[in-house]
A and B are shown apart, each in its own frame.
Chain A
Amino acid sequence: MASVFDVTLVCLILAVGAWSTFARLTFSAIVIFIVYGLLLSLAWVRLAAVDVALTEAAIGSGVTGMLLLNAVARLRSTDAAPTPSRSSVNIAAGVFCTLITASLAGLVLVPPQVPVSLAPSVMESLGQSGLGNPVAGVLFVYRSLDTLLEKVVLVLALIAVWSLAPDGLWGGKPALRPFPQRDSVLIFLARTVPPIGIMVGIYMFWVGADEPGGAFQGGAVLAAMWILVMIAGLAAVPPTSSHALRLALIVGPVVFLAIGILGIFLTGTFLAYPEGYAKPLIIAIEATLTVSIGVTLAMHVVGPPEKEWRS
């Protein structure tokens, strides 16, 4: 029997999700969406997926929230009344969506007799790698190709974002609007939180091998800290042509790729780790990835190079 807590949580998620969808003002919709993300993290905890809960909170809600808030701040002036949409089409779309939901719900209500799971085989071989966290095992041992490709996706998406800069500004500074008021709470936070945040980020990555956490979550926290500092105007946004920035972006993928290729020479197989060295190598990958992910996420949020934003 489902607990009252779960039922309440699900109802809240749905209500907040619907609120975010139907809210009149885009700004409110985004604020509500951030709350929605946090509620979702709770759901992940209830589903015994703490790694995902952390990721959802850090990236799905946190960094995405920053991104959207930044966007809505820029869009304010154009937040005109939405064009009246054709209600008959809306009703039809609503009916179709309901049908899709119903067919999915039908599947949920009739689960397979014998639940399928790769958990036993994951655990069976996890010992060889020396990792304690099965999710990290899947990410960096069994399905490391996915993870590697996904890093490429992240970097490529950043190039894609940068590509939207006007020709003359390529390599210039992204125009992040620093918070205008000096000595505000934000400045205070930007001075005090980052040291703690950076510690948390590093800790998350460090325990990631054995406990919930890892490069993604740690990187997201680092990104959030850096953005906070930049928004407060305490640190300058680096120009996208900066050599250090570029190196920071790629160091993770490069190390990952290099260790993968190293596997060819040492074990004969791409992305295989030599016996006994799996854990240190994975930690090396994760360490560099944490940096790269942090920098990449932050650069995603600050956007393409633009003319200085003057308010």
Chain B
Amino acid sequence: MTLGEVLLVATLAVPLVTLVLALSSGSHRRTTILLVLAAIPALLTALFAESGTTVVLPQALLSLVLSLDLPGRLLLGAAALLWIATGAYAVLSRRGRENDNPFPIWWLATMTGSFGVFIVADLVGFYLFFTLVSLSAYWLVVDDGAPPAKRAGAVYVSFALLSEAFLLLAFVLLAVATRNDSFLIRDAVAAISTSPLRDPAMAFLVLGFGIKIGLVPFHVWMPLTYASASIPVAAVLSGATVKAGVIGLIRFLPFGVPLPGWGETLTALGFVSAFYGVLIGITQTNPRTILAYSSVSQMGLIAAVLGMGLATGNSITPAAAAFYAMFHILAKGGLFLAIGVAQKTRHRTEWTVLLPAAVVVLGFGGFPMTGGAIAKYAIKSPLGDGDVAMLAMVSAAASTLLMLHFLRCLRASRSHETRTTSAAEQSFIWLAIVVAVVALPWALYPAVIQASAHDALSFDALWKATWPVLIGVLLFGVLGRAPRILPMIPPGDIIVLQSWAWSGAKALGDATERIDEYLRRWSIAGSLLLVVTLALIGSFYVGR
């Protein structure tokens, strides 16, 4: 086995072994630090294993095929960084609660799933890790036990299950379309573009992954979940686990062959989300909710990029989208930590939080020299030069607006807090992430896009990157001065329909119960038995 292969296996094996340790260990004081250590092999894999490293595990391990490619590597590395950082943050913030057993277990399980989806190359394996990351996260969401968390958990798990269901259908279609016994995602994707099952498979894929990345109208779980989970949990959910959907789209959409129709659909869905997220986001005042809507918007942008790539057959798309997603992992995860740090920071040192936050925030608009700038530059090629590129610029302006709004609310929320606990260690973690957010994209750009980062520093590029931010700032200024003209929209916006859907479901359930009571009466059941008999006799005469 080469080092790369060992690392690849260790990426999943180490968290799993740690999981078993955490399950069996009586004292949890020692295992908490393992939360951090368990993510290190993933980082090492991203750094040192070469793209193309493949391991086929034996039958006893479900014949999983692990394989590292460029998009997977980018996401794995960034996710590993985030898991390490938030793991450390969680350990620090949960001091004194180490014996709270379930948390480390679900943390590790979610982390394993999160890493797994980036490096697994077969259908069943992907489904396995996708399920693991989605369902384990439920326990992280409800960990706090408060009623909002319970409600958020219920909504979260409903959508997670729904997405699982769509994906199961999609994967089965892919497997059937592949015909030969290969369960490799690569073979399935190659087969699907010419298969008669293409359209349903694509639809289920887009639905399944769309729910995971919170495409409108499947985004409602995001604001609820991110607002009520604990800080480190919200950080990994928004940063790392949501990327399971991104890698899913990257892996399963047949890039390289132009697939019009589906590409445009995905692009349209993406932009709807991108703008919808901002629109609702600016009406919110809770910084976490704002970040959640920003996620809706950003994931919409990534979906649009992927959609354009699909429509045009642009083969750079997967790498570009992954590159952007990598930025988002660190930036969004980091901002959630910032919320946590801000709440614990003394008034006079608040600039230590707000200033770095401003750097990250401006990145969302693609302000020059930020990590976001180069990330946005990377997705230019798939987006093309036409109207779509224009839309992307507008969305950058909108993002700037939203993120500035976030910054303001962050500060506002901070000033209400009178807590004076020292958060030096947490601040350090947060600052480290900020460095990564800025430095990593610039460092990795040449390797990922196969082009020099200097292009992004040309005057033309700089100008194109700057004006959306300026517009955003302008808009923010206008909105900020204006009295409160924005409507009050509850977090989760269309979740208010839930009560309506709920009463509908309840009525349906009541009806089912009444029917059951009726059917289970003796005389009814007896008569039905005769009906079934006669129907069966009749059915034998049909189709002979």
Contacts and interface: CB of A to CB of B under 8 A. Distances in A.
Interface of A: 85-86, 89-90, 92-93, 96-97, 99-100, 103
Interface string B490-530: 00000000000000000000000000000000011011001
7 contacts: A86-B523, A89-B523, A89-B524, A89-B527, A93-B523, A96-B527, A96-B530
B537 interface: yes
Nearest to B529: A96
A100 B534 contact: yes
A21 to B, nearest CB: 14
Nearest to A97: B530
A97 B527 CA distance: 9
B27 interface: no
Interface string B260-277: 000000000000000000
B62 interface: no
Nearest to B527: A93
Contacts of B524: 89
Nearest to B531: A96
Interface size class of B (residues with CB under 8 A): under 10
B422 interface: no
B25 interface: no
B530 A90 contact: no
A100 B523 contact: no
B523 A96 contact: no
B532 to A, nearest CB: 10
B63 interface: no
Most chain B CB atoms below 10 A, which of A86, A90, A96, A103: A96
A22 to B, nearest CB: 16
Contacts of B534: 96, 99-100
Given A93-B530, A96-B531, A100-B533, 17 more contacts: A85-B523, A89-B523, A89-B524, A89-B527, A90-B523, A92-B527, A93-B523, A93-B526, A93-B527, A96-B530, A96-B534, A97-B530, A99-B530, A99-B534, A100-B530, A100-B534, A103-B537
A80 to B, nearest CB: 17
The 7 A-B pairs at the shortest CB distance, nearest first, are namely: A96-B530, A93-B527, A89-B523, A92-B527, A99-B534, A96-B527, A100-B530
Contacts of A85: 523
A96 B536 CA distance: 13
Interface of B: 523-524, 526-527, 530-531, 533-534, 537
A109 to B, nearest CB: 17
Contacts of B530: 93, 96-97, 99-100
B539 to A, nearest CB: 14
B534 to A, nearest CB: 6
A86 B524 CA distance: 10
Nearest to A94: B527
Contacts of A92: 527
A230 B533 CA distance: 45
Contacts of A89: 523-524, 527
A92 B526 CA distance: 11
Contacts of B537: 103
A125 B523 CA distance: 49
A103 B530 CA distance: 12
Contacts of B527: 89, 92-93, 96
B162 to A, nearest CB: 40
Nearest to B526: A93
A107 to B, nearest CB: 11
A90 B524 CA distance: 9
Contacts of B526: 93
Most chain A CB atoms below 10 A, which of B524, B530, B534: B530
A86 B531 CA distance: 18
A85 B524 CA distance: 11
A102 to B, nearest CB: 10
B54 to A, nearest CB: 57
A96 to B, nearest CB: 4
B417 to A, nearest CB: 64
A93 B79 CA distance: 66
A96 B537 CA distance: 13
A167 B87 CA distance: 58
Contacts of A97: 530
Contacts of A86: 523
A101 to B, nearest CB: 11
Contacts of A93: 523, 526-527, 530
Nearest to A89: B523
Contacts of A96: 527, 530-531, 534
Nearest to B524: A89
A103 B540 CA distance: 14
A96 B532 CA distance: 10
B519 to A, nearest CB: 12
A100 B524 CA distance: 17
A96 B524 CA distance: 12
A96 B527 CA distance: 7
A27 B259 CA distance: 80
A103 B536 CA distance: 13
A63 B534 CA distance: 35
Contacts of A90: 523
Nearest to A93: B527
